Amino acid sequence: MPELGDEVDPAAETPAGPTDAPAEGVEAREAAEPEVELVADPELVAAVPLARQALAEITPERTIGEPLGHVVEAPGVVSLLFASLLPGYPDWRWTVTVGRTGDDEEPTVLEAELMPGDGSLLAPDWVPWSERLAEYQAAQEALAAQAGETAEDGDEAEDEDDDVEDDDVHDLHADDDLDGVDIDSVDVEFDEETDVDSDLDLEAEEAAALADADGDDADEDDDSDEEE
C-alpha cells in the first residue's frame, strides 16, 4: 500500500478484469441466434375478398386486377398484391395489408395503397431547393464565363482587323505608286506661252451659260406652239 506523500499511478490502481466482456458476449449471442423464418398465416393469405372490399372503397372495381401473390411483412401481418388496371399506371399494383393479433381473431385490414412495381415509371427523386439553387448558380456562372471568353475573342479579332487596316493605309501612303504610276516621277510644268486668264470670273461664266440654256428652251417652246 502506498504511503502518504507517495505518487500513485492511476493505471496501477485500476482493478483488473474484462471490462468489454459483456458487450462481446451480447454480440456473440446475437450472432448465434438463427433468424426466425416468417411463415404466412393461411387465414391472412385467404383474405382476398376482404382485401378487394377494402380496395373498392378507394378505387373503382374495374381498376382492380387479378391477385399477384402476397408478402409476409411480420408475424401475423401479410400484404396481398393485386394488379392495377388504372390507365397510365403500368406495372403498378394494389397492396392491401391485413393482419390479426391471435389465431382466434378475424383478419382486419391495416392499410391499402397503390405501389409501384419494378418496371413502373416514377418521378425523379425530389431535390431540395438549396441544392437546385446551387446547381442553377453554377450553370449561370459557367454561361457567364463562356460569354466572357467569346467577347474577349471578338475583341481580339476586331483589334487584329484594325491592325490590318492600319497596315494597309500605311502601305498606301508609303508607296507613291498609284495604278503603276509614280506620282513623284510625273513632271508637271506650265508652258510659258500658255495663256492663263487670272481675271476669269467663273461664277459669271456659269450664269451666262445657264441663261443661254434657258433661252434655247424658250425658243423650242415657241416653235412648238407655232407648229400647232
pLDDT at 66: 96
Three-state SS annotation for the chain: CCCCCCCCCHHHHCCCCCCCHHHHHHHHHHHHCCCCCCCCCHHHHCCHHHHHHHHHCCCCHHHEEEEEEEEEEECCEEEEEEEECCCCCCCEEEEEEEECCCCCCCCEEEEEEEEECCCCCCCCCCCCHHHHHHHHHHHHHHHHHHHHHHHHHHHHHHHHHHHHHHHHHHHHHHCCEECCEEHHHCCCCCCCCCCCCCCCCHHHHHHHHHHHHHHHHHHHHHHHHHHC
CA distances 7 to 12, 15, 16, 32, 186, Å, are: 11, 18, 20, 47, 120
pLDDT at 68: 95
* Whether the predicted pLDDT of 28 surpasses 90: no
Number of Cβ atoms within 10 Å of the Cβ of 226: 6
* Whether the predicted pLDDT of 155 surpasses 90: no
pLDDT at 165: 65
Give percent of the chain above pLDDT 70.
56
* Whether the predicted pLDDT of 4 surpasses 80: no
Give the residue with greater pLDDT, 63 vs 201.
Answer: 63
Confidence of residue 219 (pLDDT cuts 50, 70, 90): low
pLDDT at 121: 82
pLDDT at 69: 94
Report residue 103 as a C-alpha cell.
Answer: 389465431
- In single-letter form, the type of residue at position 126 comes to W
Mean pLDDT of 53-81: 95
Q: What pLDDT digit, counting tens, does each position of 75-113 carry?
A: 999 999 999 999 989 899 999 999 998 888 899 999 999
* Whether the predicted pLDDT of 212 surpasses 80: no
Q: What pLDDT digit, counting tens, does each position of 162-186 carry?
A: 666 666 555 555 555 555 555 566 5
* Whether the predicted pLDDT of 214 surpasses 80: no
Mean pLDDT of 29-37: 64
Answer whether 96's CB lies under 8 Å from 112's CB: yes
